[in-house]
Amino acid sequence: MNPQELLYAETHEWVAVAEEGGAKVATVGISDFAVEALTDLVYIQFSKSGGDSVSAGDAFGEVESVKAVSDLYSPVTGEVVAVHDKLADKLETLGDDPFGEGWMLKVKIADESSLGKLMDYDAYKKMCAEQ
C-alpha cells in the first residue's frame, strides 16, 4: 500500500478503502510513525472478530510495547470482515511493513460519513511533525 494514498485518523490508524463484491471495505493498520513511537512491541490482541459490528472510535484491540499499552481504534463504522490474528506471532511485521503485511482489520463500511473525518497523507504528516 502506498502511504501517500491512504487516509489517517488522529490516533494514528491508516485506512485503505477498496471495492469488494459491491461493498466498500476498509483495511486498517497503524502508521510507521505510530510503530516507531511505540518502540519495542511485546503483544497485540484483538477484541473484535469477524461478524462483529464496530463504530468509528471504538477500540478493536490493543498493542503493548515495553513502554505502554495502547488501544487500537477503528476509524470507520461497519461490520468486521477479517482480523489479522497471525500478526501476534510475527510482531516484527509491523515494523517491516506497517502499510502492507502489518494490516490489522478489514471492515465492510456501513456509514461513509466517518471517512470524512480522516486526514490525507499531507495533513497527517503535518500533525506528526507537530507532536
Partner 1 sequence: MRNTLATKLLFELSQPGRRAGLMPACDVPERPAEELLPGECVAVKPPPLPELAEPDVVRHYANLSQQNMSVDTHTYPLGSCTMKYNPKRNERFAALPGMANVHPYQPDESLQGMLQLLYEMQEILAEIGGLDAVSLQPAAGAQGELTALLVAAAYYRDTHQESRRKVLIPDSAHGTNPASAAMAGFDTVTVKSTPKGYVDMDDFRSKLDETVAVFMITNPNTLGMFDREIKRIADEVHEAGGMIYLDGANMNAILGVTRPGDFGADMMHYNPHKTFSGPHGGGGPGAGPIAVRAKLEPYLPSPVVEKTPSGYRLAYDRPKSIGRVRSFFGNTGVLVRAYSYICTHGPDGLKRVAENAVLNANYLLSRVKHIFPVPQGDRCMHEFVASAGQLKADKGISAMDIGKRLLDHGFHAPTVYFPPIVKEAMMVEPTETESKASLDALTATLFRITEEDAEFLHDAPHTTSTSRPDEVAAARTPVLSWKPE
Task: Tell me how far, at minimum, the Cβ of 68 lies from partner 1, in Å.
Answer: 5
Radius of gyration of the chain (CA): 14
127 binds partner 1 (CB under 8 A): no
Interacting residue with partner 1 among 23, 68, 113, 126 (CB under 8 A): 68
Contact range with partner 1 by CB under 8 A, out of 13-21, 64-72, 100-108, 116-124: 64-72
Residue 35, Cβ density class (10 Å: 0-12 exposed, 13-18 middle, ≥19 buried): buried
Task: Tell me how far, at minimum, the Cβ of 111 lies from partner 1, in Å.
Answer: 21
Q: Which residues contact 79 (CB under 8 A, 6 or more apart)?
A: 51, 52, 53, 54, 107, 108, 110
Task: Tell me how far, at minimum, the Cβ of 65 lies from partner 1, in Å.
Answer: 9
Which stretch of DSSP H or E encloses residue 123? Answer: helix 121-130
Q: Report yes or no: 52 and 45 within 8 Å, Cβ to Cβ.
A: no
89 binds partner 1 (CB under 8 A): no
- How far apart CA 41 and CA 103 sit, in angstroms, is 15
What are the grid coordinates assigned to 84, written together? 489479522
123 binds partner 1 (CB under 8 A): no
131 binds partner 1 (CB under 8 A): yes
Interacting residue with partner 1 among 1, 41, 81, 110 (CB under 8 A): 41
Interacting residue with partner 1 among 19, 66, 89, 116 (CB under 8 A): 66
42 binds partner 1 (CB under 8 A): yes
The residues with which 63 forms a beta bridge, in sequence order, are 44, 70
117 binds partner 1 (CB under 8 A): no
